[in-house]
Chain A
């Protein structure tokens, strides 16, 4: 088992922000994960030691198993990073988001796509 195979049990969520949408519409999808975005510049007040860089490095979005977008984050993104991105609805199915930190740990979340009139 390598680090990249480890799935983190972190709190995260993916949701489609529109209530009713049909095929052809563009919806906005919110992806959020509870995770530090430690810069490597700041001291931990308790230990007095510099906290190493520890952050969400990549977020990848799949729509029915096809990659439709990915995001490279740096430590200037806020703690518990939140991204909203658009998706053009073409069919029912799933939107899946994989969050990966700089240690290669992954968290996977998905949400169902169910357009009206389907």
Chain B
């Protein structure tokens, strides 16, 4: 690179950083900044074009969760886990949080049964929706209401 060309390019780079130093941090910021996940949006994304059937899922949650920071959720889907016919995904979705996704479990027939336990944070009393998707794209759905005494989301900004 010619000296003159180098100086020009370096100058442009410095100018860009002076205007917006965040350019360097953008890739990190995307992971670090708060993200809202509205229930309606994620539910539509997960179920678009798919057949949704109520039932088949045994969902165990406390009727009253004293501490919304740790709400146990236990799921078992009444469905085979055979080579070509199995539950491939289980989604756990709160409905009134800022982030209405707890987890998506991706399963294979090697799991033997379609079972999942996880702990969720709930900001307030709300329905928990569980979707279980077969490898063929059929979705089973169930929901339960959980009353929350103490919010699991601490002090908001």
Contacts and interface: CB of A to CB of B under 8 A. Distances in A.
Contacts of B120: 76-78
Interface string B102-130: 11111111111111111111100000000
Given A54-B32, A81-B118, A82-B118, A87 B112 contact: yes
Interface in A44-87: 45, 50, 52-54, 63, 66-79, 81-87
B99 interface: yes
B155 A77 contact: no
Interface residues of B, number: 43
B37 interface: yes
Interface of A: 26, 28, 37, 39-43, 45, 50, 52-54, 63, 66-79, 81-88, 90, 102-103
Complex A-B, nearest 10 residue pairs according to Cβ-Cβ distance, in ascending order: A40-B34, A88-B112, A26-B112, A84-B117, A52-B32, A78-B119, A68-B110, A74-B101, A72-B104, A76-B102
Interface of B: 31-35, 37, 69-71, 81, 94, 97-122, 152-157
